Every structure is written in structure tokens, then in C-alpha cells.
Amino acid sequence: MIQIAVYGKGGIGKSTTVSNISAALAEKGMKVLQIGCDPKADSTAALLDGRKLTTIIDMIRTKGHEIALEQIITPGYAGVMCAEAGGPTPGLGCAGRAISAALELLKEKGAYTELNRDVIIYDVLGDVVCGGFSVPMRQGYAGKVFIITSGENMAIHAGANIAMAVENFQSRGYASLGGIILNRRNVKNEDAKVQELADDIHSSIIGTLNRSDTVQDAEDLNKTVIEAFPESDMAKEYRTLAENMLQACKGSDHHA
């Protein structure tokens, strides 16, 4: 089983990218589980025709731990199984702790064993890489971390912090860095700036996504590009990225 965590700052297009990667892998016949680890809890919406799931944390609040696995996992496009960790009530509690509690419940209920998935993808907010947000890169969860960024300064700053967290944890046998995904925003010197980040963190750009109206058109339909516009150039870019990520994982310690 391949376990991947995709990190990036809020608003960078992370959830859109992850959902299209999940759809592309499912299209290849792989069994995928996508877990949203962002308090906004909208990671999987494009796989569910725009429907937002009840989060695992909200389930725990109302039902305690007496929850069946099928109550926290929902099938979406092409059989991708979807889950949303969720977050605390605004102004109360720590979002990182919520992620930790949600992933522990998924493990307790057998999500990593009974669902028999080929690939698990964690979609993780990367503005803050504190205890809870770092859980997906810890031992027993993801084996590879991918950072999605544009050439915008705040996105690059977040990417550098994520890479530092991965490096700090790697000595404990946690996840290793799989590479950088460049989601172009067409800012000045964008490719050079992201390549500089890759060089600084001793990594590489494993895929690029061009800015395209097709992405917004698919979002307006509450679908992934893969589903809405399967023959588009953008769909091909997502398929290429998904394949590159699989290749980056091969031969590493990502298998559970």
C-alpha cells in the first residue's frame, strides 16, 4: 500500500490537485482513499459532486467512538473512498489535535486494513506544520511527502517550512520528501524561483500544472477535471503528475 501526503499553503490549489490525482489513479484501476486533513473539510468535494462530508471530528463529538467505518468513509468518483478529518469549533481547540484524533480513529476502525486500498492520499494544510499537522508524515502513515507550491513568496516560504519538518522527522524513520509540484500562477520568474526552492531543499520538481480555465470550469460543475473534461490538456497534466508521484514512491519505504 502506498501512502502519500500532499502539503501546501492554504489557497494554493492543493485540494483540487489531490482530488484530480486520486481520480487519475482510480481511472488506472487503483483503489484509492483520500483523507482531507484541512479544517475547511472540503478536500473531497469534487469527488462527491460538491457534497461536503460530515467530518470525523463532528462524528466523534456527537457519537463518541461508537462509529462504524462506513459512517466516516464515503465512496466518490470512480470508487475513490473519501474522508474528512475536520477541525475544532472556531476559536476553540487545536486543528492539529483534531487531525491526530481523526487519523487515530480511522486506524482504530480498520481503514488502513479492511478497505484494502492500493493508495492512501492525505491532503494536508501546510501553513503550519505543528504536532497535529505533522501526523500524516509520521511513522505508520505516509511514506512520501509532496509539496505543492507556486512561485508566490508565501507559498515558497510554506514549502521551505514543510521541507524542514520532513527533514527533522526523517531521522526517526518518518516520511521522506518525494518532490515538489509546481502549480503555476504565472508570477514573475516563477519556474526559476521554484527551482531554487527545490535546489535549497535538495529535491526536484516532479510535475508542473499550468494555469488553466479548465480547472475553474470543472470546479463550477463540482467535479474533477478528470471527470468533467477527460480529454483536456489539463486532465493529461494531472495524469502525468499522478504517474510521476507513483514513480517517486517506488522502491522507497512508503509501503505499509
pLDDT at residue 130, rounded to an integer: 64
44 falls within a domain: yes
175 falls within a domain: yes
17 falls within a domain: yes
Closest CA to 99 of 129, 64, 67, 65: 129
Question: Residue 144's domain spans which residues?
Answer: 2-249
CATH, residue 114: 3.40.50.300
Active site residue 107: no
pLDDT at residue 254, rounded to an integer: 41
pLDDT at residue 253, rounded to an integer: 45
Of residues 28, 31, 40, 236, which has the active-site annotation?
40
The whole-angstrom separation of Cα 157 and Cα 127 is 9
pLDDT at residue 92, rounded to an integer: 54
237 falls within a domain: yes
104 falls within a domain: yes
The whole-angstrom separation of Cα 89 and Cα 94 is 9
Q: Tell me the torsion sign for CA atoms 233, 183, 120, 74.
A: negative
Of residues 38, 123, 127, 144, which has the active-site annotation?
127
If the chain, 256 residues long, is cut into consecutive pieces of 10 residues, what is the mean pLDDT of each piece? 93 96 97 91 95 92 88 96 80 69 91 93 81 76 94 95 87 88 97 96 96 97 98 98 95 48
Active site residue 9: yes
pLDDT at residue 13, rounded to an integer: 94
Q: How far, CA to CA in Å, does 94 sit from each of 83, 88, 170, 183, 223? A: 19, 6, 24, 29, 31
65 falls within a domain: yes
The structural domain count of the chain equals 1
